[in-house]
Amino acid sequence: MEHQRSSRQFFSLLLLILSLVWQTSGQSTTTPAQKTGWYPEGCYTDAAAGRTLSVGMQVPGGSSTMTNVKCQDVCQAGGYVLAGTEYSGECFCDNQFRNNGGPAPDGNAQCSMFCNGNQTEVCGGSNRLTLFRYYTGAGSSSSPTVSSTTSSSAASSASTTSASSTAPVAIGLPKGFAYKGCFVDGPGYRIMNNQQPDDQSMTIASCANVCAEAGFEIAAMEYSSQCFCDNMVRMAGKLASSESECNTKCAGDQDQTCGGPARMSIYSSQTPLKVIKSPSPVQNVTDWTYQGCITDGGAANQVFPWKLVNSTGNSPEWCLGQCQSFGYQAAGMEYGEECYCGDLDGIEKTGSTSAPESDCNDPCPGDPEALCGAGNRLSWYKWEGEPLYVFQYPTGSAAGRYEFLVGGPIIPLIAQPGVNGKVSFLEKHGTGEPNTTGAYEFDPSIGGDIFHAFRELRGIKTDIFCAAGLTMPDRAGRQINIGGWSTDSLFGVRTYWPDGSAGVNGTNDWQEDVNTVKLQRGRWYPTGMVMANGSMLIVGGEDGSNGVPVPNMEILPTVGPVYEAQYLRDTDPYNLYPFLVVLPSGGIFIQYYNEARILDERSLDTVKILPQAPSTVNDPSGGRTYPLEGSQVLLPQYYPYDAPLEVLICGGAGRQPAWGVDNCISIEPDAAQPEWTLERMPSRRVMSCMATLPDGTYMIMNGAEIGAAGFGLADQSNLNAVLYDSTKPKHQRMSIMANTTIARMYHSEAVVMDDGRVLVSGSDPQDGVKHPQEHRLEVFLPPYLLSGAPQPTFDLLQNDWIWEADYSFTLTSSTGGGIKVSLLGAESSTHGSSMGARILFPQVSCSGNACTVKAPKGPYIAPVGWYRMFVLDGPTPSHAKWVRIGGDPAGLGNWPNAAAFQPLPGLGPVNVPGGSNVASRSTVARGFSA
C-alpha cells in the first residue's frame, strides 16, 4: 500500500510538469481490490432466483478467505471476463450479464460487506455484486469509476456537437456510437479513466469497439495511439476552441484523426453526453459539516483510527454514514478510497494540522464530483447535529471507588455467590496453582484476613478449566459445575451444597463421580441455563483444548438425545460460551459469535432468526462470544412485566484488526421486528465483565483494548469502570467511573456480593511479565455505598415463594425514603458470561415498617431458582436475603441419585398450587412435561 501511495504522489507531480507527455500518465500500481487487466465496474444487482453472473466459483481456501483478486483469478482461469463478489464470501463469473442484471439503482451504498479474506475490501452485499471486468490485453491499472451523479451543464453543450466537415471520419463503429467532439484533456488531470494499452495500429473504430465490448459508453482517442474508456467525461470536460486542435493522425490509419496533445477525440452512444463537474469538497452531508483538509500521520499515527476501504464506492455520503451508525462524531476520507472514523480529540492527540485545500485532490470513487483527501491528507468532517452519544463524568463519591480487599490463594476462573452468603472460587484444577484442590470458598464477612477468609474445598476430581456453572433450584441452592478441558473433565458434572454462615465455616465439599453421572458429550467452553421447567440446558463447546466443535445441546438431568445445531458448527470457533436467556414469550434466546436466534423451548428448533449483531465499524466479522469475548446482561424487568425483555451485550472484538469493541448493543428479541440498537462505549473493551447491581444499574469492568481471550492474546489493559444506567435515554446511559491500578485480563471476573459491593477477582494472561498473574481481590464500591446514607435492614419470614403470591417483610431500619425491592437471579460468572443473572423489580407496598412484596410471574418472567432480595431505601440497597421462586419442578433435589452425591437435599416444598410436582423425570421430553 505504501508503494502504491508513493507511485500516486510521484505521478501526480509528473503530470503537473509534463502535461503534454501522456504516454506515461495514468500508470499507477494495482489497487488491493484488483489485479492487472481487471477494472471495477461498481455495484450491480443480483438475485438468487436469477443470477446476473451465472457461474458460481470456489476460491482456494474457501469462502472464509475470499478477496476480489482471488475471485478474479478463478474467473480468469475459467476463461471469463466478468467477476463479481457477494455476501463477503461468494464469487460469480460470466461473459455476459443475465436476467436484466445491471448497475444497482442505489449506487454503491448497498455494496458494503467486507471481504472475508481482507477486511480492507468490499465484497458485494445482500443481492449486490462488487463487479469487475477483464479487458483483453489490458496492461494499464487506471481504475474506472461508476457514478450516479447528474450531468453538469457542460453536458448539454457537448452533446450538441456533431461531426463537421473537418471531423474525423470512421466506419465500423459500435452501434449507436457517434462523434461528440474534440475535448480538452488536462493539463494535470484526465477527463476520462481506463486508459488501454498503447496501440500502434489503433483506429477510431478499434478503440471504440474495445470500449463498447468492455461495457463502456464513451471512447476517446488521444495522441495517435492512446485509447480511453469511461461512462462519463470528468473534470467538467470542455470542447476545444477549435476542431483543429485534434490534429494527430491515428497510428493505424493516417486518414483518421485520433485526438492530439492534451486533446481527446470523443465518441459515445450517450445522448446527451454525461459530463460531470470538477470534484470539490462536499460541504454538508445531513448534519455533517466539512472542516477542511488536514495532515494525517499514516498507520502509526492515524488521526481517526477506524479504517474502512471501499475502492469502488467511497464517498462522503457512504463514509460518513458508516461512521455515524457506530456513534463516531468525526470522520474523514483519504487516498480517495479510504474512510476513517473517530473522535474529535484525535486531531489534538496526533498533532494533526491544517493543510492547503489543494492538497486534498483525490476524487472519490463513489462520487467523482466529490473530493476524498489525498496521500496522508484527510478531507475531514464533524458531526454538528444532536450528539450521537453523551458520556457522564461523575467525580468524588459519585464515581465509585476501588479498594484492595485481600490476597487470594488461587486465581479464580469461576466466581459464584452462594445462598450461604459466601462466594465459591474455582481455578484450573490440575493446571492451576500447585498443591491446591482447585476450589475455595470466600467469606466476605471476614474480608481482609487471608488466613481465615478462605476455606479450601475438596472433592473435585477432574479439571474444571473453562466449564459452565449454575445454581440449581433445589432447596439447598446447590451449585453445579459442568464440563472441562480434557479427557474425563469434558464430561464432568460436579455439585456443591453451600453450608455454614457468615463467619462460620461449613463442612461440605464438592461431589463428583464421572463414572456414574456425566454429560452425553464432552464440552469445553459450554454454557448452562436453568430452563423454565427447572431442567438445565447445556449448549455448545469444543471437544477438548482447541478441539473440534461440539455443535449440539443436551438436557440435565439427562433426557433424550443431544440436539444438533448446524449454526453452531458453522460459526465455530467464535461461538463458545454462547449467551442464553429464557424469554417471556416462552422461547430461548441464544446469541453466539455475531448471530442470534430464538429457539422453541421444547424442540430446540429455531423459531426466529434475529438480525446479525454489529461489531466494529470496519469489521462485521467481529463477534461477541468467546474468544471474541464480550459480556451480556438482561435489562431490568418491572412490575407488571408487560414491557418486552431487553438483552444488553457490551464489548467483544473485531478480527481485522483485532481490536476490542467500543460499543454496546441491545435488542428486544420478542418484538415483532427486533433490531439491534448500538451505543458507543467510552473505550474499547474485550474480555469485559458486567455486574448487575441491586439498583438496576450495571458495572462494566476489566478486560483489554486489543486482542482476544486466551493466553497472551490481548494487550493494553482497560483499567476504567463504566456505569450503565438503563433509566436514562439511550446514548446517554454511560458514566466514566473510577480507575483501578490492577490489570484484569483473561480469566478475570466481577460479581455482586450480598452487601452490594462488586467483588473483582483474577487475571490469568500468561503473557510473561507484561500483565502479572493476579491473586489479589478488589472490591468496587458503587456510588450508593458512598453517599453516606445507611443501608436499610429488614426481616423476612419466608424465603420459599410461589409466583405472584404476597410475602411480608419488616423494615428494621430505614430513612423513610421510597422503598423498592429488587430480585437478582443467582449467577455463575466466567469468561464474561454471567449464567443465570437477571434482575426484577416486583410490586411493593408498605404501611410504616410493615411491607408486602408480590412474587413475580413465572416461569418465563422469573425462571425457577434462587434470587437475592434487596430492599432499597431510595438508591441505597440493603444486604441481600436469598429467596427461592417456583420450587423445584424438575426434581433436581433428588438428583443425582448416586452414591458419590449423597445425601441429597430432596425436593423440599415445591410451591405450586396443590403441592404436586409439575414434572417428573419419567415424563420429561427434552426437559419438559409431556
Q: What are the cell numbers at 401?
A: 471507588
Give whole-number Cα distances, 596 to 376, 426, 476, 647, in Å.
Answer: 40, 30, 34, 11
**Strands 928-929 and 819-825, how do they pair?**
unpaired
Q: What is the pLDDT of residue 921?
A: 29
The Cα–Cα gap between 106 and 676 comes to: 24
22: three-class secondary structure by DSSP = helix
Q: What is the pLDDT of residue 428?
A: 87
70: three-class secondary structure by DSSP = helix
Give whole-number Cα distances, 814 to 96, 792, 877, in Å.
Answer: 79, 5, 10
The Cα–Cα gap between 230 and 196 comes to: 11
- CA trace torsion 444, 449, 451, 457 (10° rounding): 10
The average pLDDT across 623-638 equals 98
pLDDT tier at 913 (50, 70, 90 boundaries)?
Answer: very low
Give whole-number Cα distances, 157 to 166, 231, 236, 494, in Å.
Answer: 19, 17, 11, 84
Alpha-helix runs per DSSP H in 712-817: none
Q: What is the pLDDT of residue 146?
A: 30
Of residues 613 and 817, more confidently modeled: 613
Q: What is the pLDDT of residue 817?
A: 74
424: three-class secondary structure by DSSP = strand
The Cα–Cα gap between 247 and 590 comes to: 71
Give the CB-side neighbour count of residue 201, counting CA atoms within 13 A: 1
Q: What is the pLDDT of residue 578?
A: 98
Interacting residues of 848 by C-beta distance below 8 A, sequence separation 6+: none
Alpha-helix runs per DSSP H in 430-570: 566-570
Tell me, letter by letter, the H, E, C secondary structure of 285-296. ECCEEEEEEEEC
Q: What is the pLDDT of residue 33?
A: 56
Average pLDDT across the chain, whole number = 89
DSSP 157: H
- List the single range of 479-483, 578-582, 919-923 with lowest mean pLDDT: 919-923
Q: Does 636 score more than 60 pLDDT?
A: yes
Q: What is the pLDDT of residue 23?
A: 31
Q: Give the angle 570-572-577 at the CA atoms, nearest 5°.
A: 125
Q: Are 801 and 855 in contact (CB under 8 A)?
A: yes
Q: Are 89 and 56 in contact (CB under 8 A)?
A: no
Interacting residues of 260 by C-beta distance below 8 A, sequence separation 6+: 182, 222, 223, 245, 246, 247, 248
Give whole-number Cα distances, 850 to 183, 194, 792, 819, 875, in Å.
Answer: 92, 84, 14, 11, 20
Q: Which CATH superfamily is domain 396-785 in?
A: Galactose oxidase/kelch, beta-propeller (2.130.10.80)
116: three-class secondary structure by DSSP = coil
- Segment 2-61, tens digit of pLDDT: 333 333 333 333 333 333 332 333 333 333 457 777 888 889 999 988 899 988 899 999
The average pLDDT across 539-550 equals 94
Q: Give the angle 883-885-887 at the CA atoms, nearest 5°.
A: 115
Q: Does 141 score more than 60 pLDDT?
A: no
The average pLDDT across 85-114 equals 89
Q: What is the pLDDT of residue 926?
A: 40
**Strands 881-885 and 800-801, how do they pair?**
parallel
The Cα–Cα gap between 350 and 369 comes to: 30
| Number of other residues whose CB lies within 10 A of the CB of residue 668 | 18
Neighbouring-strand partners of residue 839: 824
Q: Are 82 and 135 in contact (CB under 8 A)?
A: no
Q: What is the pLDDT of residue 92?
A: 95
**Strands 90-94 and 226-230, how do they pair?**
unpaired
Q: What is the pLDDT of residue 41?
A: 84
- Segment 492-537, tens digit of pLDDT: 999 999 999 999 999 999 999 999 999 999 999 999 999 999 999 9
Q: Are 926 and 562 in contact (CB under 8 A)?
A: no
Neighbouring-strand partners of residue 598: 589, 608
Q: Are 506 and 479 in contact (CB under 8 A)?
A: no
The average pLDDT across 823-838 equals 96
Which amino acid, residue 310? N
Q: Are 116 and 124 in contact (CB under 8 A)?
A: no
Going by C-alpha positions, the residue among 880, 650, 759, 882 that lies closest to residue 414 is: 759
Q: What is the pLDDT of residue 749?
A: 97
Which amino acid, residue 501? S
- Segment 188-219, tens digit of pLDDT: 788 999 999 999 999 999 999 999 999 999 99
Q: Does 154 score more than 50 pLDDT?
A: no
Interacting residues of 788 by C-beta distance below 8 A, sequence separation 6+: none
- Segment 215-238, tens digit of pLDDT: 999 999 999 999 999 999 999 999
Going by C-alpha positions, the residue among 865, 817, 815 that lies closest to residue 840 is: 865
Which amino acid, residue 54? S
- Segment 158-198, tens digit of pLDDT: 433 333 334 456 889 999 999 999 999 988 788 999 999 99
Q: What is the pLDDT of residue 925?
A: 33
Of residues 166 and 627, more confidently modeled: 627
Q: What is the pLDDT of residue 136?
A: 54
Considering the entire predicted model, what is its pTM?
0.81
Residue found by looking up cell 467532439 in the block: 181
| Sign of the C-alpha dihedral computed for residues 863, 868, 871 and 877 taken in this order | negative
Please state whether 176 falls in left (phi above 0), alpha (psi between -120 and 50) or beta: left
Going by C-alpha positions, the residue among 558, 619, 571 that lies closest to residue 308 is: 619
Q: What is the pLDDT of residue 134?
A: 84
Question: Which long-range CB contacts under 8 A does 698-701 form with residues at least 24 apart?
Answer: 698/633, 698/648, 698/723, 698/724, 698/726, 699/723, 699/724, 699/737, 699/750, 699/758, 699/780, 699/782, 700/631, 700/650, 700/651, 700/664, 700/724, 700/734, 701/744, 701/750, 701/758, 701/760, 701/780
Q: What is the pLDDT of residue 163?
A: 36
Give whole-number Cα distances, 156 to 51, 151, 437, 662, 730, in Å.
Answer: 36, 8, 86, 50, 50
Q: What are the cell numbers at 547?
A: 478441539
Q: Does 544 score more than 60 pLDDT?
A: yes
According to the CATH classification, is domain 793-894 in 2.60.40.10? yes
Would you list the DSSP string of 555-611? EETT-S--EE-HHHHHTTTS-BS-EEEE-TTS-EEEEETTEEEEE-TTT--EEEEPP
Q: Are 436 and 420 in contact (CB under 8 A)?
A: no
DSSP 324: H
46: three-class secondary structure by DSSP = coil
Q: What is the pLDDT of residue 908?
A: 59
Residue found by looking up cell 436466534 in the block: 597
Q: Are 94 and 80 in contact (CB under 8 A)?
A: yes
| Sign of the C-alpha dihedral computed for residues 142, 148, 150 and 156 taken in this order | positive
**Helix, strand, coil shares of the chain as percentages rounded to 5?**
10, 35, 55
What is the widest separation between alpha-carbon atoms in the chain?
Answer: 110
Q: Give the angle 495-501-503 at the CA atoms, nearest 5°.
A: 125
